[in-house]
Amino acid sequence: MEPSNFNMILAAACLVAGIGLGALGYHLLNGGARNAQRLRLKLTERERQLTEWKDGVDDHLQQMDNLARQVCDDALTLQRQLHESARQLGSKAIASEVTPPSEPGETSDDIAIPRDYADGNRGTLSEDFGLRQADDDQNAEPRPPRY
């Protein structure tokens, strides 16, 4: 075998090996990009499903609210008819008038408003609440620490 043929065969073998190594490197490095694209598509699909489910839940909650309002209106109508029938018959068994249910924003007069002060002179918000007197400390037994 001549050295020039050997050089040509070696150059061809190196070229084929370089192409093979380049293709292998491209495949390995591009696999991460393909995986990232697949994950992006999966994420987009899940977000679309989540949006559909939220819309479905919103529709369901709106239907439930409408049904609850309808039940309340029907109960109020039934109570009015009951009182009207009792009035027509002259019955005193049902004496109270029909009162519509209070709105959630309305407040009742019998609910106490929280105060930022205590009744009397020595309430829980007084400055010396919980402080022991000096003579109490001397006469009292030592107490274990509270955690």
Write the pLDDT tens digit of every residue in 36-67: 888 999 999 999 999 999 888 988 999 999 99
pLDDT in tens, 71-123: 999 999 999 999 988 888 887 777 565 555 566 555 556 777 766 665 566 65
What's the pTM?
0.38
Residue with the bigger pLDDT between 129 and 7: it is 7
Euclidean distance between CA atoms 63 and 56, whole angstroms: 11
Euclidean distance between CA atoms 43 and 38, whole angstroms: 9
**Does the structure show a pLDDT above 70 at 129?**
no
What is the pLDDT at residue 28?
83
Q: Is the dihedral of CA 58, 61, 62, 63 positive or negative?
A: positive
Least confident of 1-5, 89-93, 123-127: 123-127
The distance of Cα 73 from the centroid of its chain, to the nearest Å, equals: 31
**Does the structure show a pLDDT above 80 at 138?**
no
Euclidean distance between CA atoms 88 and 94, whole angstroms: 12
